[in-house]
Every structure is written in structure tokens, then in C-alpha cells.
Structure 1
């Protein structure tokens, strides 16, 4: 009894047109890895260096030479809180705030202690994330040859992570708890328990008197150079995504085999 052997199906040969198309795409992709990627990295560095300069990093020993900027607190919904803040670099150096007590004409006046400053941690963190993004970009100079699109995407993902973290720290800063505010020494009061700042019902003591938070008022001020920094973050994230999209176009071709 004969056992017929199964024959493998014959694969169609790649057409000359397909070979030419593949060669052209490979040449374009190699140009992208060698030339365009580095052009984008250079553009990203220029944008982020401009963003970093907005943070006014003080020179050691010369912190007092930073320009002081005054900002008026405001709200579109109420006028119970009015005041002026003084920002010097990443630190609030002065605050003059008037609070109108609810259901009363009494106005309370608050100021920062003259020997204290409030370091804005969100600005420090955002600046650190920008510097980490710049370090990632500078780790590949113009002589470096990227070997694959995946390598480029990995770098872009790492840079985008730092930029997203920097943007989030500026747009959604964490609120201080009453214990943290008391520990800072900015004002002479101490918290009772572990109540969170801005929550009605929180307790604190001031001048041996016990108080409870009954109302919450939120006021804001626009810091133009921080707004500029957020624009630079958006531009940089767009550049990273555009480069990833170009890599994706070539990747979709390599994964598709019509022949």
C-alpha cells in the first residue's frame, strides 16, 4: 500500500514591484532613523530648555537676586477672600490676605511670618521632571544611530512620561494637610488630630483657642510664566506623538504581507 507524501504549497514569489516598494520604504525608514529622529530630538531639547528657563533656577548664594512678582488673588464667584501673594522663583515669600467672616461684617487679616517662606513643591517637582526629560534626550547625540522603531518609541515614551508628570504637578497640585501646614511654621497654629486642610469640620488651635473649619473658600491667581511652561509641555508632547505616529506607519507595513 502506497503512502502518498503531502506536498507543501508553493508560495508565490515576491513581484518586482513589491521588491522595489519594500526597498524604497526601507530607505525612507533608515533616513527617518538616521536624520529625522535626531532633528525631532533637537527640537524637543530647544523647547524644553526654554521651559526650564521659565522656572528661574536660582544660582547658589544668589537666591535673593530673583525677581519678586506680586499676584492678586481672585474668584469669579465670591469676594469673601482678597489678598496679594509675592512669588520669588519657586517660593511664596509674602502673603497678605483679608477674609470676610460669613454672616458678619468682620474682616480677618492674615500674613506670612517674615522669617518664613513657602517652598512650592509642585514647581520643584515639575522642574525636576523637565530636567530628567532633557537628560533622556541628550543621552543620544547626533552620532548615535537608532537601530529600530521600537527603540525610538521607548525613548519617546520615557520622555512623554516625564512631561506628563511635570504637567500634572502644575495643573493638579496636592493640598497641604493641617499638620503639614503647622509643621511648616508659616503660621502660628497647631492642628488637632489629622484633619485635612480645606475640609469643613477640620480642627486647629490658634493662640490657645480651638477653631473648627466651617466654610471653604477657593481663590486663584494666574502666573503667566507657569502658563507658558504648560504650553511648552503641550508642544513637546505633540512632537513626541507625531514621531511615534510616523514610526507606526512603517511598522504597519512590515506587519502586512500581501505576497
Structure 2
């Protein structure tokens, strides 16, 4: 290729790169913002939404939870009300199989009342990461386009990390030990309290709200699970937010891919990415499960 042709190609690359940094990036971030604002309407982010005149969609949702075996017997049956990231009302009947030498067996009932809610930490975490991503997007849109690829990639890595954390908070519940469940502050919302041989938990697993019931026994100074039962119910807005987190992640990743492809060319003026400073493997990948 002649020197003139190389110069022309370099000039075209530079113009395209500047367009991506100064215009395309803002269009993409505006799309991300619109998705996240719509997503935030499902969370109790009151200050964020009120400051922008956006209606919040958080409302009480009532669900029937039960597990029915082929025999027709149920171990869990009740009504649960979900309000944002709280179980604000519940009335649950439990049946525990009898175990010789233990008293925590038979039929029992416990309730949760609005003045002492069960907090779903997973949804609180997802809302916090969502809020963080919104702040970053709004700040960048106020500042205008990027001046370098490195600056763009740095922000996009921050957004991708926050959105991945938000999504994973809902999709993958954190495992807890029986001791952690028994010591949880949420157990104080149960009235009457459950026997020492019984532990329960509400948690989110992707699109479902799950209620788990554990029957435990003491063996060699350790707690062992003798029975485990669970009931689950699909929550429509869980599915909505997972889809929106995924869409926002894809927009961020697509923009990042456009920016990082120019790291192959060291003649793009104003950029600080070069073939000698490639994005790390962790920066190039987005986890979508």
C-alpha cells in the first residue's frame, strides 16, 4: 500500500473512532439509561425516581405458596405478600415430619406482619448496583462524549461490573449455612417464633421467589439437616428486570467492542489504547448466565 493510501486509511479510521467516542457512545449510553430507568421502576429507589419525575411501579403482590406431593400431602402452604424488596405480609402453615426425641414436629403456623418485614437482601443488593450504574451513566451523559478509548473502556468496565453484580444478585442466590439462617435478623419477623429444630428462608432464584423449610437435628455437636422442603412461585417482575439487566449489559459490551477494536491501530489520534496495552481478559468478557 502506498504512503498516500496508508495516510487516507489512517485518516478514515481516526474519523470513525472520533465519531464512536463523541457521538455513538452517547447514543448507546442513552439507550442504556432508558433501559435502567425502566428497570428502576420495579425497585424502591424512591429518591432516584422522584428526582426525575418517574412513576414507581412497586406495589404489593400477593402469592399463594405450597408444595404438594403425589400423595396430596403438603408441607408448606400459605399466602405471601411481596412489596419491593420486602416480604411485608405472610401467613404460612408448616408440617414437620416427626423425629423421635425431638419436639419440633407436627403442624405449626407462623406469620409476618407489615410492621416487621422480612427483607430480601438479594433484591436490595440488585437495587443498589442498579442505582450505582444509573449514577455513572447520568454523570457521563452530562459530561458529553469521550476523549479517548481508555476513558470509554474504563467507564464501560465499571458499568458492566455493576450490571453483572445486579443481575447475578437475582439469578444466583448466595448459599447460607443453617447457623446463618437461624441467626438471621429476619427470623425476628416470624410470629410466633419457630422451634429450634426448624429453620426457614425466603430467597430469590432467577424468576422465582422461594420459601425453604429445614428440619434440623443435633449430631456430635453439629447441626444436620434431616428434611428439606421448598415451595416456589414465579414473580413476573423478576423476569422483567433480568431481561433489562441483560439488555443493558449487551449495549455496554457492544460499545466496548467497538472501542477496543481500535486498540489494534496505534495511529488513532487522541487514544491511549495501543497494541502494546490491550484490554485484559477480564475486561473483554461479560458473564451472562
Residue 41 to residue 190, structure 1, CA distance change in 2 (3 Å): same
Is this contact kept in 1: 2:43–2:58, CA < 8 A? no
| Structure 2 residue aligned with 1:100 | 95
Q: Is 1:69 paired with 2:57? A: no
Unaligned runs of 5+ in 1: 1-12, 60-64, 204-210
Which of the pair is proportionally richer in strand? 2
State the alpha-carbon separation in 1 of the partners of residues 132 and 67 from structure 2.
35
State the alpha-carbon separation in 2 of the partners of residues 75 and 183 from structure 1.
22
Is this contact kept in 2: 1:44–1:236, CA < 8 A? yes
Q: Is 1:201 paired with 2:235? A: no
Q: Is 1:237 paired with 2:232? A: no
Is this contact kept in 1: 2:200–2:214, CA < 8 A? yes
Corresponding residue SS for 1:218: strand
Q: Is 1:141 paired with 2:156? A: no
Q: Is 1:49 paired with 2:37? A: yes
Please give the TM-score of this superposition, normalised by the length of structure 2. 0.68
Bigger Rg, which one: 1
* Residue 84 (structure 1) aligned to one of 79, 92, 111: 79
Residue 69 to residue 171, structure 1, CA distance change in 2 (3 Å): same
* Cα shift at 1:165: 1.2
* Cα shift at 1:215: 0.7
Residue 212 to residue 147, structure 1, CA distance change in 2 (3 Å): closer
* Residue 224 (structure 1) aligned to one of 233, 236, 259: 236
Please give the TM-score of this superposition, normalised by the length of structure 1. 0.75
Is this contact kept in 1: 2:146–2:152, CA < 8 A? yes
Is this contact kept in 2: 1:179–1:191, CA < 8 A? no
Aligned length: 230
| Structure 2 residue aligned with 1:40 | 28
* Cα shift at 1:54: 1.1
* Cα shift at 1:38: 0.5
Residue 97 to residue 199, structure 1, CA distance change in 2 (3 Å): closer
